[in-house]
Structure 1
Amino acid sequence: MHSLVSSGGELTPEQLAAAARATGLDFIATTEHNTAETHAAWGPQAGDDLLVILGQEVTTGTGHWLALGIDPGQVVDWRYRVRDNVIGDHLAQVRRAGGLCVAAHPHAPYPSGVFMYPYRDFDVVEVWNGRWSSDLPWNADNESALAEWGRSLATGLDDGQWRPAMGNSDAHLEGQLGTPHTVVLADELSTEAILSGIRAGRTWIAESAAIDLSLEVCAGPRRAGIGERLDTCGEPVSVRVAVQGVPAGTVTFHTDRGRARREPLPAGGVLEWVTSAGESAFVRVEVRHPSGHMAALTNPVTLT
């Protein structure tokens, strides 16, 4: 998210913190374009009920990326393009600070917004960006990013190098914050715990705080959740998804074979599906409104 320091931003850190609390967010990440100017302003805005993660949106000539969890006052260089072959040095700088590197809005509709760097260099891929679709928080650019990421999962899971998906509001204006946002399955509200959860893919993406979702897979007594791996021991796998806050729509189950199953969202919001590790290398879920716009989506559960 961006304050008035960033191009196109209109809100102060105080206004953004108030909006985060009103929206029901537990944490936010401040990512001004190519500056750490507001880092010092965020200390008074944080509290036990709101974690502020310091970051930067690194706006290079051939794509933007997010440096999350950097040191106070740290600025990451942005003056290069993919042909300069220096991106690895700057990613390493962020990781040395304990930070996370996110490929941002890979299909953004403006010059320099289209992401040209290899995903393999990054920790996470942003598949849902809310800035350019404030009226409807899902658009063709997000659809393209999701499809590209989804196709990469099968090979990435095989070698243990898959990149989790995340969603961000990329808020610049009033009313954008939290649409969408990333829900992290973490044990505590700390920068380390949140970034670890994102890095591990223990996350799902929500259109708003009104939506709740859970995904669990079971094989006999063994269970796993989003971002985890389940050793099935050759037994059938029961996949259970529960959704709240979406009045109507569809749930789709996706595997390494693509969309494997599509069901109407039932009144109780609970669906079950049976598969196996032989049929499905992983399972992830999408929940869509009747219009086809996304309501929520998960990272995968890996089956072995």
Structure 2
Amino acid sequence: MSGHAGRGGGAPAPHGTRWLAGDLRSHTVHSDGTLTVRELACLAASRGLDYLAVTDHNTVSHHPGLAEAGAHAGVLLLPGQEVTADLGHANVLGGTGWVDFRRPSADWAAFAAVRGGLMSINRPLIGDCAWRRPLPPEHRPRYAEIWHSSWWDRRWGAPLAWADVWRPGGVVPLGGSDFHDPAQHKTLGEPVTWVLAETAGGGPGDADVLGGLLAGRTAVSAGRDAPVLLRVEDELIAIGAGGTVLVRPGGRRTAVRGDHVRIPADRPGMHRLETDENEVIALCG
């Protein structure tokens, strides 16, 4: 794994698990990116990431090269596909095989679930790529890329409002940079999605990142070294977040006083940290 601890890297975790930092959306020359799989893996390592989902558009041709490139760079590369169609994009994560973007979106979710993967809605609010595809409530995935570079002013509450109405049981928050090219404005690992993953050993291939995602054990921060809010069982842990405010599901607010604060979690659902200007600086499931 990367040698960078980051804010969440040394956080308390149950025995046999560890908080890992990663990015859940990136692209290579297999679709519209400019880096090879190996080059992307090396960049992820240089950014201090433990894992990276490689999600080229409407293809899985990059999947066979992920294990070798990841081992070379010391980063776990998670297979994925950005299912790209008119009226919305979604990630399917895991070694599910190719997802037919021409099928209805409910079929994408069912295909992923049957094959042990997961589907998440990508950047649901962004210009002409906003999610507008029909998807009956009973087929709506619980995972959503709430945090993306398009959320450039995080005082804007629309992504949170969307999450509140998307799925009655709540949304597991994810983050992705949508990285394509080092020359673009999007930076790999900004934001970071932290996953509490089971780790059988010390190497990148020993962490079950997909299992942690499926279990909903996630948190999102602006970057690897940014303030973070983690949930471990019935406890919230705010790190580097002194002077912020914890906002619970339903809106109840608690001041965070100190740089490593533990707060009881009295209910399920998405929690967040905000500044005094209501800017969101961390999310957790």
> Where does residue 97 of structure 1 map in the other structure?
115
Greater Rg by CA? 1
The worse-fitting range, judged by mean Cα deviation, of 87-96 and 280-289 is: 280-289
Higher relative contact order, structure no. (Cα contacts within 8 Å, ≥ 6 residues apart): 2
The worse-fitting range, judged by mean Cα deviation, of 164-173 and 19-28 is: 164-173
User: 5+ unaligned residues in a row in structure 1: which ranges?
Assistant: 81-85, 157-161, 217-224, 231-238, 300-304
> Where does residue 75 of structure 1 map in the other structure?
98
Alpha-carbon distance in structure 1 between the residues aligned to 2:132 and 2:245: 29
> Where does residue 148 of structure 2 map in the other structure?
129
Alpha-carbon distance in structure 2 between the residues aligned to 1:294 and 1:181: 14
Task: Note the C-alpha offset of 1:202.
Answer: 1.0
User: 5+ unaligned residues in a row in structure 2: which ranges?
Assistant: 1-25
Alpha-carbon distance in structure 1 between the residues aligned to 2:153 and 2:206: 27
Matched, 1:252 2:275: no
Percentage of matched positions with identical amino acids: 28
Contact 1:62–1:117 (8 Å) recurs in 2: no
Matches for 1:1-304 after TM superposition, within 5 Å = 1-7=26-32, 9-47=33-71, 49-71=74-96, 74-80=97-103, 86-111=104-129, 113-114=131-132, 116-118=134-136, 120-121=138-139, 122-130=141-149, 132=150, 136=152, 138=154, 140=156, 143-151=157-165, 155-156=168-169, 162-174=170-182, 176-188=187-199, 193-211=208-226, 213=228, 215=230, 225=232, 228=233, 241-244=237-240, 246=241, 250-255=244-249, 258-263=250-255, 265-270=256-261, 272=263, 281-282=267-268, 284-289=270-275, 292-299=278-285
**Shift in alpha-carbon separation, 1:119–1:288, aligned structure 2, 3 A:** farther
Match of 2:195, as an amino acid? V
Where 1:209 maps in the other structure, the secondary structure is coil
Instruction: State the TM-score, normalized to the length of structure 2.
Output: 0.74
Where 1:208 maps in the other structure, the secondary structure is coil
Alpha-carbon distance in structure 2 between the residues aligned to 1:202 and 1:112: 26
Task: Note the C-alpha offset of 1:118.
Answer: 4.1
Contact 1:55–1:67 (8 Å) recurs in 2: yes
Alpha-carbon distance in structure 2 between the residues aligned to 1:104 and 1:62: 11
Where 1:44 maps in the other structure, the secondary structure is helix
> Where does residue 22 of structure 2 map in the other structure?
none
Number of residues of Structure 1 aligned to a counterpart in Structure 2: 251
**Shift in alpha-carbon separation, 1:296–1:150, aligned structure 2, 3 A:** same
Alpha-carbon distance in structure 1 between the residues aligned to 2:237 and 2:129: 39
Residue deviations 1:13-64, cap 9 Å, x none? 2331122111111111111111123223333311283111111100122321
RMSD in angstroms over aligned alpha carbons? 3.1
Alpha-carbon distance in structure 2 between the residues aligned to 1:41 and 1:28: 14
Alpha-carbon distance in structure 2 between the residues aligned to 1:36 and 1:117: 24
> Where does residue 220 of structure 1 map in the other structure?
none
**Shift in alpha-carbon separation, 1:110–1:87, aligned structure 2, 3 A:** closer
